[in-house]
Structures are given as structure tokens and as C-alpha cells.
Amino acid sequence: MTATFTLSIGDTAPDFTLPATDGKDYGLSDFREAKTLVVFFTCNHCPYVIGSNEVTRETANRYIDKGVRFVGINANSVNTKPEDSFDHMVAHMAEHEFPWVYLRDESQEVALAYGALRTPHYYVFNEERKLVYTGRGVDQPRDAGKMTVNDLDNALSALTSGLEINVKVTNPIGCNVKWDGKDAHWMPAEACDLV
């Protein structure tokens, strides 16, 4: 059963206008040349993000030539996690040089529009910007060396080959999004497991 809080398969990608660490603002139209768009909610501090960032990098690089673009969004409240501030994001990208645009969702409106549950939480959209996969990247994001399944790679492999995605929905694994004014472990009442 799919939660109503988060986007469902077939939903259209909500638009946004958000500032990036490269000094520009981005919206969906800035990625219109991409055949596939991966929007994922991420951050600087989460051990599940840190543990799987290099796998995400490898996956992003593997599909660049197939028209896949990655967009990372950090919506965490700086009141809960000061290390997720925009300045820290800029430093984070300068250090790691990840192959994606890294956006700041200060108001958390985009995270709510997508129904971001955890960091990381991946949303894969086809050329029509319809959701074709949502959930985790890998099954062991905290220690990617132990992973046995890369669901994100499987979804992108199928999609870019014109095949049906076998597993369209998984539960994201990671820290919950840090919602402003809430306890660090609070999640919206409507938020629940996707499968």
C-alpha cells in the first residue's frame, strides 16, 4: 500500500525553484534535456547518506551518457542540524565534487510536495516527468560495502533500456527528514512505509 504523504507511481514531478551550491537557482525546466531525472532528498550529515554517497556517484556517472540527470535536495532544518546549512552544503560540494546539482529547500515546501521521508530518498522520473521509481538507493546505505541490491541502478538500467522496472517502490532507508520546529525524530502523521 502506498502512503498518501509521498508521491505515488505515475504522479507528475512537482516543480520547484531552489538555490544551488553553484550560485544559480534551478527548476524542473532547467533539466528538460534529461530523458530521466532522479530527484533525491539528501543532506550533509546523515550516516546513511555518507555511507552511500560514493555508490550514488557511481550510479549517476554510469547513466550520464544515457540522458540521466541527478538533482540532490537538502531540506533539513538548520535549527535541528546546523551542519546542513547552505554554507556547509557549499563546502561539502567543494570537497566532494559530486556529479549532481545540490539544492537547498529552506522552506521545506518541496520536501512536503514530494513527500520526502528520509535521507536519502530517491524519486526517478521518466521523460514525461512521471514517477517510475521511489524509495531507497541500495539495501545497505549506511555501509554500502555490504549492499546486495542497488534498486536505483536496477530501475535506471531497466528504464534506459526500454524495459519495465521490476521493483517500482521500496522503503527509503536512512534518517528522517529534520522538520523545522519538530523533534529530531518527528515524522508527519501521514508518513508511513511505502511497502
Give the mean pLDDT of 139-167: 96
At residue 3, does pLDDT exceed 60? no
Q: Report how far Cα 56 is from the mean position of its chain's Cα atoms.
A: 10
Give DSSP secondary structure letters for 67-135: TEEEEEEE---TTT-GGGSHHHHHHHHHHH--SSEEEE-TT-HHHHHHT--EESEEEEE-TT-BEEEEE
Give the mean pLDDT of 21-35: 97
At residue 24, does pLDDT exceed 80? yes
- Cell numbers 541500495: residue: 138
At residue 188, does pLDDT exceed 90? no
Going by pLDDT thresholds of 50, 70 and 90, the confidence category of residue 4 is low
Tens digit of pLDDT for each residue in 35-93? 999 999 999 999 999 999 999 999 999 999 999 999 999 999 999 999 999 999 999 99
Helix/strand/coil for 15: coil
Tens digit of pLDDT for each residue in 94-151? 999 999 999 999 999 999 999 999 999 999 999 999 999 999 999 999 999 999 999 9
pLDDT confidence of residue 184: 83
Give the mean pLDDT of 158-166: 97
pLDDT confidence of residue 1: 36
Q: Which long-range contacts (CB under 8 A, 24 or more apart) does 108-113 make?
A: 108/75, 108/77, 108/177, 108/179, 108/180, 110/14, 110/16, 110/18, 110/73, 110/75, 111/41, 111/73, 111/75, 111/177, 113/14, 113/16
Going by pLDDT thresholds of 50, 70 and 90, the confidence category of residue 183 is confident
pTM: 0.95
List, in order of start, the domains of the chain with CATH numbers. Answer: 11-176 (3.40.30.10)
pLDDT confidence of residue 51: 97
Q: How many CB atoms lie within 10 A of CB 162?
A: 6
Using alpha carbons, select from 150, 152, 162 the residue that is nearest to residue 66: 162
- Cell numbers 565534487: residue: 97
| Grid cell locating 71 | 538533482
